[in-house]
Chain A
């Protein structure tokens, strides 16, 4: 079945560092991918919709200059957390779907900023 691969699984870094998270659709093409953030014991919060070949669409309250999204190919979207601070520590998850089929999710990236 369709698989979405997310890398890395976890990151620990110092405050001020920029961190890049990759999301790949392994056996299908995805013109659209979604990025979520999840805090402990809370639901997934949609951050942005990543669109292949065009700018991402950010949800209200999400800083586009803070969370840079690049979707340069039909199988890869990246989320870069720029100048990360402790409040950016969270669980980041991406998803994509082949056509109109149900979404497939990455395993998530646990980001810890010291």
Chain B
């Protein structure tokens, strides 16, 4: 699976929107973009994923660049509970049972009250 790069950390104020970027310049046409987040002392949790079109769910929005070489996870109103490490990873939609999820360093989001 193609690699992703994310900023090490970002800061936000409570109730403000947060835009977390992810670069994946070597993404292939069949790679899905997945976002997970890990709260302190917990296992990661799924946030959102997409292929080409922007996606929205109750947790966040995912904006995917037209060339798919980058994407942005959008938290519309950050809360203190959103303070976590956010991971962007790619999954080849053709990989089926051979998919092995691996994680980079992710972005540590700090939310100020």
Contact = CB atoms under 8 A, between A and B. Distances in A.
Contacts of A42: 105
A8 B83 CA distance: 25
A108 B41 contact: yes
B103 A107 contact: no
A105 B84 CA distance: 15
Contacts, number: 52
A108 to B, nearest CB: 5
B101 interface: yes
Interface string A95-111: 10000101111111010
A84 to B, nearest CB: 20
Contacts of B45: 105
Nearest to A9: B41
Interface of B: 34, 36, 38, 41-46, 49, 85, 87, 93, 96-97, 99-106
